[in-house]
């Protein structure tokens, strides 16, 4: 009897582990599945050339590196880093590096592919790349993060370069990390000429070759897209309530510029929890608080704590997901009460959830249009470095606004021509440009 119970218990444990493994795998492959679903939908709609479709349906290069780093206590840890290069028909690969436990080859594929579309829509001479390191940066000291970053850069070697593949900041990476990459890359070249290789990364500190305004470029672009949508739909943003998921760089700056327009922030969610104040939350005051609270919004005294699931049920006009991918799913899509979703993050809405939102009549400004301000700002920094120039912030924001408005108009025209949603229309804009290049140049040999 005891042996029978033991066998039964062991079988249940194995079944539980298998279910957990399947769920993990599902989560791991979700982002790329979303990318390919949207790609195929747009390709069918526009009747994309069959040969070009085959080329764009796969990545060009996938780099995985394992490298050892000495920790502060003298021990050795081995880290895994990724860089996926999707397509460079329009120009060098371009895209961020993120430091996060969810970084893997599948996520890098999805993000690199999105970068190809995003650059094409924005009219930039770039292809798509993405990557990072699978780690939680909060568990490491600043010295350890510097050694990890420099060793990762060295391991990538010539897989990155100022006119080949140009990384930038992403989740949990910043200007300091870009400065370390820039210095390491230049130091590994002979002679170690930093001015020649300065544009190997973008998003650097201003004194180290960075662009004034690059820090706010993505959030600013999100708000420019919202303004364009509002103008087209005769909506006055003043007094409109909004909620935001993620209060990092993108989330803060989007909130900052929305509040300048008179919109009212009423709820915020980040990795530490969710807060609500229907009377309004001041973004500057919240930012000051997060700097004393390890970057998190939890415990903020001028708003009440709410359950994370309740955040999605908040009655508001605008929702800005500005955190990670696959945050809006079939589990919470029906709860959303917003009239407009502006995607500040990459891939925050999965395909099944989007169908639910569209049936509810909720408008969506897709990520590859809405958050393109970051790569546009990176392009300006890249040009500034190549030309040995220094651009002023006012000039940067004016140019950035013009680029995004032009891209938005192109997507609207595509949506009207093909009688489709903005996401599919945005894909079509990107695919049409790349298709034209392949038809003009041909495929070697």
Q: List the chain domain ranges.
A: 60-195, 212-444
User: Who contacts 351 (Cβ-Cβ below 8 Å, separation ≥6)?
Assistant: 33, 34, 37, 38
Q: What is the pLDDT of residue 203?
A: 96
Q: What is the pLDDT of residue 21?
A: 41
Q: Which of 12-26, 156-170, 303-317 has the lowest mean pLDDT?
A: 12-26
Please tell me the CATH superfamily of domain 212-444, with its number: NAD(P)-binding Rossmann-like Domain (3.40.50.720)
Q: Which fold has domain 60-195?
A: Rossmann fold (3.40.50)
The helix or strand, by DSSP H or E, that contains position 107, with its residue range, turns out to be helix 105-122
Query: Is 70 designated active site?
Result: no
Residue percentage of the chain with pLDDT more than 90: 88
- The yes-or-no verdict on residue 119 having pLDDT over 80 is yes
Q: State the binding site for substrate.
A: 94, 118, 378
- For residues 360-376, give the mean pLDDT: 96
Whether the Cβ atoms of residue 78 and residue 57 lie closer than 8 Å to each other? no
Q: Which of 103-107, 122-126, 191-195, 292-296 has the lowest mean pLDDT?
A: 191-195
- For residues 291-310, give the mean pLDDT: 95
- The yes-or-no verdict on residue 20 having pLDDT over 70 is no
Q: Residue 391 corresponds to which tokens in the numbers above?
A: 């651009």
- For residues 326-333, give the mean pLDDT: 94
Whether the Cβ atoms of residue 330 and residue 356 lie closer than 8 Å to each other? yes
Q: State the binding site.
A: 94, 118, 218, 249, 378
In angstroms, the CA 435 to CA 55 distance is 10
Confidence band of 349 (pLDDT split at 50, 70, 90): very high
In angstroms, the CA 75 to CA 274 distance is 37
- For residues 291-301, give the mean pLDDT: 94
Neighbours of 143 (CB within 10 A): 10
Catalytic residue (one of 27, 45, 70, 130): 130
Give me the helix-helix angle, 373-387 and 393-418, nearest 10°: 130
Phi, psi (degrees; rounded to nearest 5) at 338: -70, 155
Looking up tokens 């860089």 gives: 83
- 213-262 tens-digit pLDDT: 999 999 999 999 999 999 999 999 999 999 999 999 999 999 999 999 99
Domains 60-195 and 212-444 share a fold: yes
Q: Residue 7 corresponds to which tokens in the numbers above?
A: 């066998």
Give Rg (Cα) of the chain: 22
- For residues 177-181, give the mean pLDDT: 97
Q: What is the pLDDT of residue 190?
A: 75
Confidence band of 5 (pLDDT split at 50, 70, 90): very low
- 275-290 tens-digit pLDDT: 999 999 999 999 999 9
Nearest alpha carbon to residue 287 among 215, 238, 358, 363: 215
Q: What is the pLDDT of residue 23?
A: 42
Phi, psi (degrees; rounded to nearest 5) at 365: -95, 110
Please measure the distance between the N-terminal and C-terminal CA atoms of the chain and give it in whole angstroms.
72
Q: State the binding site for NAD(+).
A: 218, 249
Looking up tokens 């903005």 gives: 422
Q: What is the pLDDT of residue 136?
A: 95
- The yes-or-no verdict on residue 95 having pLDDT over 70 is yes
Residue percentage of the chain with pLDDT more than 70: 93
Q: Residue 260 corresponds to which tokens in the numbers above?
A: 């300048």
Q: What is the pLDDT of residue 219?
A: 97
The helix or strand, by DSSP H or E, that contains position 365, with its residue range, turns out to be strand 363-365
């Amino acid at each position: 009897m005891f042996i029978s119970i033991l066998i039964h218990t062991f079988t249940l444990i194995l079944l539980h582990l298998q279910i957990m493994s399947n769920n993990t795998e599902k989560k791991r492959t979700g982002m790329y599945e979303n990318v390919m679903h949207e790609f195929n939908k747009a390709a069918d709609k526009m009747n994309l050339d069959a040969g070009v479709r085959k080329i764009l349906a796969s990545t060009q290069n996938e780099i995985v590196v394992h490298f050892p780093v000495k920790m502060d206590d003298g021990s050795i840890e081995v880290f895994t880093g990724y860089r996926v290069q999707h397509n460079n028909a329009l120009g060098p690969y371009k895209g961020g590096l993120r430091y996060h436990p969810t970084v893997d080859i599948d996520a890098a594929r999805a993000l690199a592919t999105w970068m190809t579309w995003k650059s094409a829509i924005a009219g930039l001479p770039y292809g798509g790349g993405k990557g990072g390191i699978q780690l939680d940066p909060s568990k490491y000291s600043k010295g350890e993060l510097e050694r990890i970053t420099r060793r990762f850069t060295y391991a990538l070697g010539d897989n990155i370069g100022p006119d080949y593949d140009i990384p930038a900041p992403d989740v949990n990476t910043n200007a300091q990390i870009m400065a370390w990459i820039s210095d390491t890359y230049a130091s590994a070249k002979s002679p170690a000429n930093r001015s020649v290789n300065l544009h190997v990364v973008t998003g650097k500190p201003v004194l180290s070759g960075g662009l004034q305004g690059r820090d706010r470029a993505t959030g600013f672009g999100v708000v420019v897209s919202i303004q364009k949508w509002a103008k087209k739909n005769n909506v006055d943003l003043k007094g409109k309530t909004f909620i935001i998921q993620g209060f990092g760089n993108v989330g803060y700056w989007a909130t900052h510029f929305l509040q300048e327009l008179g919109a009212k922030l009423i709820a915020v969610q980040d990795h530490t929890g969710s807060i609500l104040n229907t009377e309004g939350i001041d973004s500057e005051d919240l930012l000051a608080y997060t700097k004393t609270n390890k970057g998190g919004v939890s415990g903020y005294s001028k708003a009440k704590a709410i359950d994370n699931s309740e955040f999605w049920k908040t009655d508001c006009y605008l929702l800005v997901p500005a955190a990670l991918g696959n945050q809006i799913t079939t589990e919470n899509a029906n709860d959303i009460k917003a009239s407009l979703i502006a995607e500040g993050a990459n891939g925050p809405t999965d395909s099944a959830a989007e169908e639910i939102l569209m049936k509810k009549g909720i408008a969506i400004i897709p990520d590859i249009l809405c958050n393109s301000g970051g790569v546009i700002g990176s392009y300006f920094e890249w040009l500034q470095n190549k030309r040995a120039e220094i651009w002023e912030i006012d000039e940067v924001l004016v140019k950035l606004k013009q680029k995004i408005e032009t891209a938005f108009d192109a997507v609207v025209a595509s949506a009207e021509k093909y009688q489709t949603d903005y996401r599919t229309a945005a894909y079509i804009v990107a695919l049409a440009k790349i298709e034209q290049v392949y038809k003009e140049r041909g495929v070697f040999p």
